[in-house]
Structure 1
Amino acid sequence: MAAAAVSPSSVSPDEHRLPLDVKPVHYDLTIRTDLEKLEFDGWAAIKLNVQKETTKLVFHSSGLEISDIVLHNQSANVTEKPTSQSLDPATERAIVEFPSSLQGGSTVVLQLKFQGPLTADMMGYYRSSWKNEGKEEYYSLTQFEPTAARRGFPCWDEPLLKATYSISLISRSDSVNLSNMNAVSEEAYASEDKPGDWKITRFAKSPPMSTYLVAYANGPFAHLEDSYVSPLSGTKRPLRIYATKDSIHQAQFALDIKRKVLPLYEKMFDIEYPLPKLDTLIANDYDAGAMENWGLITGRTSSFCLDPTKVGVAAQKRVASIQSHEVAHMWFGDITTMAWWDNLYLNEGFATLMGEIMMIDKIYPEWNVHSEFINDHLNRALSLDAKLSSHPIEVECPDANQINQIFDSLSYSKAASVLRMLAAYVGEEKFLHGVSIYLKEHLFGNSVSSDLWDGISKSAGHDVTTMMNTWVSKMGFPVVTVKETPKSIIVRQDRFLETGHPEEKDNQTIWQIPLFLAHVGEGGKLQVDRSIVLNEREMTIPLDTSKPYKLNSDTSSVCRVLYPPERLSQIAQEAAKKDSLFSLNDRIGLVHDVFALAKAGHAEISTALDLVNNLRKEEEEFLVWQGMRDKVNELVGVWWEDDHIHDLFCRFRRMYSPIIAKLGYDYKDDESPSIKQLRTLAVGGAAAAGDPPVVAELQKRFNHMLATGDDSGIALDLESAVYTTVVKHGGKKEYDAVKAIFENPRTPTTRQAAVGGLCYASSPELVDQTFKYILTDVKEQDYYIFFANLAFNRSTTRRMVSFLKEHYDDIYERFSKNTQLNLLISYSFKRLATEADAKDVEEFFKDKDVSKFNLVLHQTLDTIRSNAALIERSTDDVVRYLESWAQNAKM
């Protein structure tokens, strides 16, 4: 806006929400994109209902120059120009005063023009680059969630303020225009100020939607097309996936997933997908993983591209779960939208549970996604929620700085875990019916938590509101401690903290915990009592403790369980049996519980390591091995600076050798996904531990590829292990070869795997080269991948810290406008493990504005101090166990 900024005092710092004087009803929006000049301009006519008398309009705008403001009062048939206009950069608000009062109950239309640059921020309306036969070219797309629609056009940028949209896009005639709705016309466009061949594409009017879901794009896109038939109405809808021509051949699998899941969602929710089409656009520069724009899903290449000639299980799972997740949002978030960002979990928790678990299980039951959830979501959520610096699922979000920070594992994974627990408690059929009731009662509207609980309560036949309110409104989760008598168990709940027993002030919450008590009944079969709820500090449950039992059957509740040592030993022995009474989910959950409790000081670390040692002898399921690998790697990451312990852990991690001896290095089409992933895990784990035969084999396969160009010996699932290993144990030849792969990858998956190689160089010269390379040649979207790998490489952990500090100002400037800054801060520091490190981090940030990452900074400091406490408490125990193990195993 061509006006002076207002003084900070003109808008109260506590006034984070827009005034409700007016409500937008409809936007007529025209955007003109110039990809040659990398800029855009546009004009809007915004129909507003005046809620109460006012002389000014306050709306959002950021980075735009606004001009030609006119207000047409339809009720009074009067057109006015503003008497003043100003911009408050701190709140990203435009304030426009008019000479006459706008009367409550009247209707007005705000008309204005705007223009701005197509930045590389990966937020707002921005540019993305791609290589067209070696030449860098650009296209444009939007990313408006959570608060960046205001960077694309002036608007009332809050989710509650839904409106309809009629969007028109003006562009070069040889490009493709996309938006939320279907195109209804396209014709030549003559522009006096823009010579050349232009066109205008007009799109159908949308249903009411929030600003953050508005989407449009312009570029040289190619597409694949399919369709599905609605099982509810018989309507046939077109489905497309768009990408640049160099990537479109890898998009078929994502399109197939979309075609499969859409009719299943309609039947699951008994609500038809309401738009006339659903597109997906694959972007080369993208901040998040993907985005659920209504009718136009967007996401990065690694989220949607899959090489049809060389398929890996991990890549398949990633593409399927992300595409399904985003399609789930068409209902959770798009049709029904949270009223404010404090209820973000109503979008993300549901899309995670429905999209990545319930739906994927229907089309790929062999993937065991219900069990994988425990590793990928439940454990990730509990790891963060065990910190004093955690936050509730339903968290206060007063401003954009806080909103951007809550897109974390609590809003996604903990929310999904709590919903999964509720589904297990009331039964999945009643849960899904309750969800359908909730959606139908809020179609095209907004909702809050109580609306969801009301829907599920109606379906379940009893009130779940009291139970669920605590789970979403309070931070943390419980540990259930078990004591035994011959005829009963006494269970007590306390808040679980990674640092051990909480102080009284941090232990006030009483959760309602479904205990899912599994016990041996008649005939020696395991029975599960789903009715018992621990809703007080302590309770006694009648039980014959001479027989096997286990709380939290199938790892369904959001808690840890602490048994007496003798009982834990019995459960572990039973879990290790080939024909165990306990399920796959039970075994996965047991691994995570024992490690978490040991790290918090409730047991010795040696107890957890011994559980791994016992389970590995008979365990054949990939997901149990994945849990064990991840937990052991966490310990390796704590003692990374202790050379002796690191060497002992390397020997301990060579327990993968029997798996490799059995499965080999080559993948077969008729193998189960579990076998394929177990092979990947074993080879990767042994290689990371420096197992000489494994290192030699991976080097041989890589050298064969270099000599012949034949990469058939390097399966897609093994690329990461191969590239990391050959550079770590090699030199400049291997480094340069992996760098060439990174710059010209066969697939996005290959590109990410090559990052590991570039970050695990051993020689100081090659390490220097990688750090310089980040500053000069790495795209912003890939920074966090480099930071993560460099931080987790013990040879470069402290160098990564120094790099962040040295280039902090530049990094802050480049990433403070999107969501990656939180990741860069976390990855740079969270591997540190001394109190001196924590104080050093605090000292570094004490004079800096940390408002955009204050949550993750506190969580990182908690992690550092937790690591330091664990080292002080458990080093002797770890050394004793690992030395004894190595001697007995002769390793």
Structure 2
Amino acid sequence: MDYRLPTDVVPKQYDLTIQTDLENAKFDGVVRTDLHAKRRTSTIVLHSVDLQLSDISLQVSGRKDTLRASESATDSLVGLGIIVFPEALPAGSDARLTITFRGKLTSSLRGYYTSCGGKDHHDGKEVYSLTQFQPTSARRAFPCWDEPALKATFTMTMLSKVDSVNLSNMAAISENSCNTHDAFEDDPWLAMKARTLNDLSQWKITRFETTPPISTYLVAYANGPFKYLERSYTSPLSGEVRPLRIYTTEDIIWQGQYALDIAQKVMPLYEEVFDVEYPLPKLDFLASSNFDLGAMENWGLITGKTTCFLDNPKANDVRHQLYVACTTSHEVSHMWFGDITTMKWWDMLYLNEVRAFPEWRLDAQFLGWNYYPARALDAKLSSHPVEVECPDENKIIQMFDDLSYNKAAAVLRMLSTYVGEKIFLKGVSVYLKKHKFKSTVTSDLWEGIQSVTNRDIAGMMRDWIEKMGYPVVSVVEKEGGIQVRQDRYLETGPAEPEDNETIWTIPLNLLTVRARGTSQIDHTVLLDSRERFIRLDTSKPFKVNAGTKGFYVVQYSPDRLVQLGRQAVARDSPFTLQDRVGLVRDAFALGGSGHSSVSSALGLVDALRTTEEYLVWNAIAAGLSNIAWTWWEHPEVVNPLNAFRRSLFVPIAKKLGFAHLPCDTPDDQLMRIKAIEEAAEAGDPWAVGEMKVRFAHFLETGDESRIASDLANVTYRIAVQEGGKREWDFLKRLASSTANPAQALAAHTALGATRDMGLAEATFRYATTEARDQDVLTFLKTLQRNVATRRWLGEKVMVNFGKLEKKYAGTFTFNNLLDAAFGGLSSMEDHKRVADFFERRDKKAYDLQLQQTLDTIKFSAGWIERSTEEIKRWLEEHLPRRDFA
């Protein structure tokens, strides 16, 4: 079945008027769409879901009479509205289609929906409305052509209560009370609405400037009791000053300054990077207390969770500040790459994902946040290409994952390194200028970059985008150099021949050291065949994939890996921070898949004990935590492994302590958090005891000063884990009473750490019936993290799956629910039970996520079978006997 709209008529301009009635949880409006007929037709097909349509008419250009719809119907299966007129629209003609519509404001997290602010999110006085249209939910707010390629201009008018604020993509050009004589001008729909309003003085009309051509999923509007903070920036290209604002409810707006400062800093940076001026008159942010995604790049009105854009300036939480800075910078970058140019269809989703990497070691942070999550997902047989066919809404929303976003960003980063960042960005600028306000396909981007490089960019990138998976590059040392070979990397082990057909064009980014000790990186060396011999002096340090810029794994011999580890921590090391992170992550990935031994990875960790860099320790922690996560039912492995973790992290935790120091660098602060978290997770009595004492003081006195804000997550979690109902109740109340979104999230995250199954039941009930819809995944993930409730959680979700599916179907939240519920299980019995449960269900809305979750369980079970004895043996050889008690 073809789910795409016919192209016999296309929209050119929408004149959209919306009335928002928050008190009665409803909206209605009229949309007048200027159309162009490519072919003769009497039937117009557009998108409409859960809307009541009426008063449908068509005014054909050059005709005085108005055509009334002779027939209209909706197809709820595919969300289509089908309108038939008594006369055909001639080919080549223009017309204006007018449709009146109405709908309900629900808390569905998609379309035009309601959210709540204030300390008590059930307080009706703080209800507000906002849109979330990506990928296919504009059709739930107004009848439209809801496909990315069908760009059109939009003129917005909003009718709302006078004590509320209206926001949209563009700047407001007028705002008038409805009781003024010119409020309705010549708009018959508004005049009709005026006759139904009890008190015109309580309503107002806000009109906005017309947008440039824009895809429907980027249209945005909101209404509610918002307050704002304001800054501005000066365009380095034109000198024009543009306002920047952040909006949210009054009680938390004071936490918006940090994101606003970041936006003020990066806006001119992106103009210079892309050599394209920001084309809109303003940029607003709206922080919402109930939002499906992290954040959304609506053009001119970026929306997102309060935790993404708000930061308590008194907290000094460097990890949260980094998160806010990166989220803000990322969404702002979309104002160019994704909004000025937009992919024609959702199979080109990654064309949104060019990233800038300003300051704060963001390139190294990118590895943990984006690069490795993408590699983990792409290592599965159930992976999918970056560019994949998306025939319908069910498939589209499943594509919003770590492949479409993070792998896309990673391979573009690889390409940038290969051609040079300045040249790469110049090519992107060529692409943006050529396709400004248009929709694009993959070849358009390659053409732009190729025009400034004279290299076959399309040929090089084809397999990285169109094929699933990525390679492992094995390095074998021979006389006079190295033999390198590529094969597809799979988490379950070496690929079978039928899964190992792709030959990628791989930039090897080869680092070598000259005789005088200076290092160089050759970015021109490619591996575009199965194998290749490269001449170099193996007696001196060398490394493939310097800077961890390429999207692949590198496998060395065990001896060379340990040697690389020692060279990495040497005072005069030629390796960068990214190199050290890459060595650790690759070693654990290869150990997990069976390409090499887990012992090699553990040996590398031992060799890196003296490193002082947070991101290297973060990579070590991720690898060791993954083993503990997988072997959660095997104390004979977990107990000595935790002893090993304590030997690594407790000395660092004690050195840095629980209190911030004036001399702390950002690395010190991040290292303190990580070391204390790892020490506590590994059961260190000192770390756990400290947190219990500090939380007890907070519990008894209400004074939280002894708990550093950036340690609230782990402290609250330990308090619930080691405590009982009193601690659980205290944090549940704190989550709903604090004005600090980050603290509320920390409190919520802790509730699932309980070992009391009665409290676990209460946590699940609260998550699925009382908490904000956006937070359900937070609770499921923390219950999954807790080994006492992990398998119980899977059973609870199975029992309640029908209710959860009905509530969250079609949202990004539902997209991640299966992994949050079942991804921590690790036996083939679990695999069979989960597979059997879903066997007879209609899975078309989540079939990809289900298969990925089942693959995760299967991988864990296989790894346990393959590596248990090896890990035990290594730990026995490297730890005192007492640690095996």
User: How high is the TM-score relative to the length of structure 2?
Assistant: 0.96
Where in structure 2 are the equivalents of 1:642-661 lying within 5 Å? 642-654=634-646, 655-661=648-654
CA contact (8 A) 2:764 2:779 kept: no
- 3-state DSSP of counterpart to 1:192: helix
**Residue in 1 that maps onto 2:141:** 152
CA contact (8 A) 2:639 2:883 kept: no
Moved more, 153-162 or 73-82: 73-82
Counterpart of 2:306 in structure 1: which amino acid?
A: T
Shift of 1:610: 2.0
**Residue in 1 that maps onto 2:98:** 111
Residues 762-795 of structure 1, C-alpha deviations (whole Å, 9 max, x = no match): 1222222212222332111000011111011100
Shift of 1:482: 1.4
CA contact (8 A) 2:755 2:789 kept: no
Shift of 1:710: 2.5
Counterpart of 1:836 in structure 2: which amino acid?
A: E
Q: Select the residue among 526, 535, 551 that pairs with 1:558.
A: 551
> Is residue 420 from structure 1 mapped to residue 407 from structure 2 by the alignment?
no
Shift of 1:152: 0.5
> Is residue 222 from structure 1 mapped to residue 259 from structure 2 by the alignment?
no
- Separation in 1, partners of 2:724, 2:500: 53
CA contact (8 A) 1:75 1:106 kept: no
**Residue in 2 that maps onto 1:7:** none
> Is residue 260 from structure 1 mapped to residue 252 from structure 2 by the alignment?
no
**Residue in 2 that maps onto 1:389:** 382
CA contact (8 A) 1:486 1:546 kept: no
**Residue in 1 that maps onto 2:189:** none
Shift of 1:132: 6.5
- Separation in 1, partners of 2:882, 2:317: 34
CA shift in 2, pair 1:889/1:227, >3 Å: farther
- Separation in 2, partners of 1:668, 1:193: 63
Q: Select the residue among 602, 605, 613 that pairs with 1:612.
A: 605
- Separation in 2, partners of 1:52, 1:736: 65
Where in structure 2 are the equivalents of 1:106-255 lying within 5 Å? 106-131=93-118, 135-137=123-125, 138-189=127-178, 191-196=194-199, 197-255=202-260
Q: Unaligned regions of 5+ residues in structure 2, if any? A: 180-193
CA contact (8 A) 2:784 2:793 kept: yes
Moved more, 542-551 or 717-726: 542-551
- Separation in 2, partners of 1:569, 1:143: 50
Q: Percent identity?
A: 47
**Residue in 1 that maps onto 2:621:** 629
- 3-state DSSP of counterpart to 2:706: coil
**Residue in 1 that maps onto 2:190:** none
CA shift in 2, pair 1:746/1:714, >3 Å: farther
Residues 702-737 of structure 1, C-alpha deviations (whole Å, 9 max, x = no match): 122233332222111100110011111112222222
Counterpart of 2:87 in structure 1: which amino acid?
A: S
Shift of 1:889: 8.8
User: How high is the TM-score relative to the length of structure 1?
Assistant: 0.95
**Residue in 1 that maps onto 2:744:** 751
Shift of 1:547: 2.1
- 3-state DSSP of counterpart to 1:825: helix
- Separation in 2, partners of 1:491, 1:65: 63
Residues 507-528 of structure 1, C-alpha deviations (whole Å, 9 max, x = no match): 1111000001111113022221
Shift of 1:16: 1.5
Counterpart of 2:149 in structure 1: which amino acid?
A: L
- 3-state DSSP of counterpart to 1:849: coil
Shift of 1:754: 1.1
- 3-state DSSP of counterpart to 1:524: coil
- Separation in 2, partners of 1:871, 1:384: 19
Counterpart of 2:155 in structure 1: which amino acid?
A: S
Q: Select the residue among 445, 469, 472 that pairs with 1:452.
A: 445
Counterpart of 1:102 in structure 2: which amino acid?
A: L
Residues 816-849 of structure 1, C-alpha deviations (whole Å, 9 max, x = no match): 0311112111111111111121111111011111
Counterpart of 1:49 in structure 2: which amino acid?
A: H
**Residue in 2 that maps onto 1:320:** 325
Residues 628-660 of structure 1, C-alpha deviations (whole Å, 9 max, x = no match): 101111111111111222222221221211101
Shift of 1:463: 2.5
Q: Select the residue among 289, 292, 302 that pairs with 2:297.
A: 292
**Residue in 2 that maps onto 1:311:** 316
- 3-state DSSP of counterpart to 1:262: helix
Residues 548-590 of structure 1, C-alpha deviations (whole Å, 9 max, x = no match): 2111111111111111233223212222434423211111000
Residues 237-262 of structure 1, C-alpha deviations (whole Å, 9 max, x = no match): 11111111011011111111111111
- Separation in 2, partners of 1:98, 1:747: 55
Q: Select the residue among 863, 880, 888 that pairs with 2:873.
A: 880
CA shift in 2, pair 1:477/1:61, >3 Å: same
- Separation in 1, partners of 2:327, 2:299: 15
Moved more, 792-801 or 191-200: 191-200
Shift of 1:293: 0.8
Moved more, 729-738 or 473-482: 729-738
- 3-state DSSP of counterpart to 2:605: helix
> Is residue 53 from structure 1 mapped to residue 40 from structure 2 by the alignment?
yes
- Separation in 2, partners of 1:122, 1:337: 23
Counterpart of 1:478 in structure 2: which amino acid?
A: P
**Residue in 2 that maps onto 1:399:** 392
CA contact (8 A) 1:130 1:136 kept: no
**Residue in 2 that maps onto 1:3:** none
**Residue in 1 that maps onto 2:191:** none
Q: Select the residue among 679, 683, 686 that pairs with 1:690.
A: 683
Residues 288-311 of structure 1, C-alpha deviations (whole Å, 9 max, x = no match): 011111111111110111011112
- Separation in 2, partners of 1:889, 1:559: 40
Shift of 1:71: 0.8
CA shift in 2, pair 1:429/1:888, >3 Å: farther
Shift of 1:74: 1.2
- 3-state DSSP of counterpart to 2:486: strand
CA shift in 2, pair 1:888/1:574, >3 Å: farther
Q: Say how many residue pairs are matched.
A: 865
CA contact (8 A) 1:787 1:800 kept: yes
CA contact (8 A) 2:255 2:312 kept: yes
Shift of 1:75: 3.2
**Residue in 1 that maps onto 2:455:** 462
**Residue in 2 that maps onto 1:77:** 64
CA shift in 2, pair 1:768/1:490, >3 Å: same
- Separation in 2, partners of 1:259, 1:546: 50
**Residue in 1 that maps onto 2:489:** 496
- Separation in 2, partners of 1:669, 1:346: 43
- Separation in 1, partners of 2:882, 2:637: 16
Shift of 1:608: 1.1
**Residue in 2 that maps onto 1:97:** 84
CA shift in 2, pair 1:132/1:37, >3 Å: farther
CA shift in 2, pair 1:800/1:578, >3 Å: farther
CA contact (8 A) 1:303 1:322 kept: yes
Q: Select the residue among 798, 820, 827 that pairs with 2:813.
A: 820
Residues 203-242 of structure 1, C-alpha deviations (whole Å, 9 max, x = no match): 1111110101111111011111111111111111111111
**Residue in 2 that maps onto 1:592:** 585
Shift of 1:890: 6.2
**Residue in 2 that maps onto 1:32:** 19
Shift of 1:742: 1.6
- Separation in 1, partners of 2:606, 2:497: 37
- 3-state DSSP of counterpart to 2:699: helix
Q: Select the residue among 658, 678, 681 that pairs with 2:674.
A: 681
Counterpart of 2:105 in structure 1: which amino acid?
A: L
Where in structure 2 are the equivalents of 1:539-558 lying within 5 Å? 539-558=532-551
Q: Unaligned regions of 5+ residues in structure 1, if any? A: 1-12
CA contact (8 A) 2:349 2:387 kept: yes
Counterpart of 2:196 in structure 1: which amino acid?
A: D
